[in-house]
């Protein structure tokens, strides 16, 4: 229990520092008198995926998952929606190198899918991850 509390405290402190660095405040008072709250995206490390039986790269991922900041698993559709709305950010850690997960769109079909930003490796960082339980 104490370890979980310590991790949450560290994450809260990290997010507070990041908000200060970016100049984001937890609330402000616009002229209308209402309070506007700015929410920081939750960041998840993707450590595993579940694949479909499809061969196309844009139809292969069914779920993504991980254990940081806690054990989690999300469908590709949910992850896409959370990225697009700014609720969540996802990344893959490949040999100590952090690569952001982003939403791409297959041009002929218009289907959205998850991929990583191009880096100095030719392998697909997401599709090379192990299967989630």
- State pLDDT tens for residues 56-90: 666 789 999 999 778 999 999 999 999 999 999 99
Rounded distance between C-alpha atoms, residue 78 and residue 124, angstroms: 21
Residues of the chain with pLDDT > 90, as a percent, come to: 39
Q: Contacts for 52-57 with beta carbons within 8 Å, 24 or more apart?
A: 56/106, 57/113, 57/115, 57/124, 57/127
How much is the pTM?
A: 0.66
Q: Select the highest-mean-pLDDT range: 9-23, 48-62, 79-93.
A: 79-93
pLDDT category, 25, cuts 50, 70, 90? Answer: very low
**Average pLDDT in the chain:** 77
Please give the residue that has the higher pLDDT: either 107 or 75.
Answer: 75
Stretch (H or E) spanning 84: helix 76-85
CB-based contact 42:60 (threshold 8 Å): no
Predicted confidence at residue 117, as pLDDT, reads 75
pLDDT at 99 over 80: yes
């Amino acid at each position: 229990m104490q370890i979980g509390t310590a991790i949450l405290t560290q994450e809260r402190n990290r997010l507070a520092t990041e908000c200060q660095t970016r100049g984001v405040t937890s609330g402000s008072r616009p002229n209308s008198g209402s309070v506007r709250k700015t929410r920081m995206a939750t960041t998840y490390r993707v450590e595993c995926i579940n694949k479909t039986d499809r061969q196309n790269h844009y139809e292969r991922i069914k779920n993504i998952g991980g254990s940081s900041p806690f054990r989690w698993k999300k469908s590709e559709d949910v992850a896409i929606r959370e990225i697009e709305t700014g609720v969540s950010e996802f990344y893959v850690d490949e040999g100590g190198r952090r690569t952001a997960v982003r939403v791409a769109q297959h041009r002929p079909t218009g289907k959205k899918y998850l991929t990583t930003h191009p880096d100095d490796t030719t392998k697909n960082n997401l599709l090379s991850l192990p299967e989630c339980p």
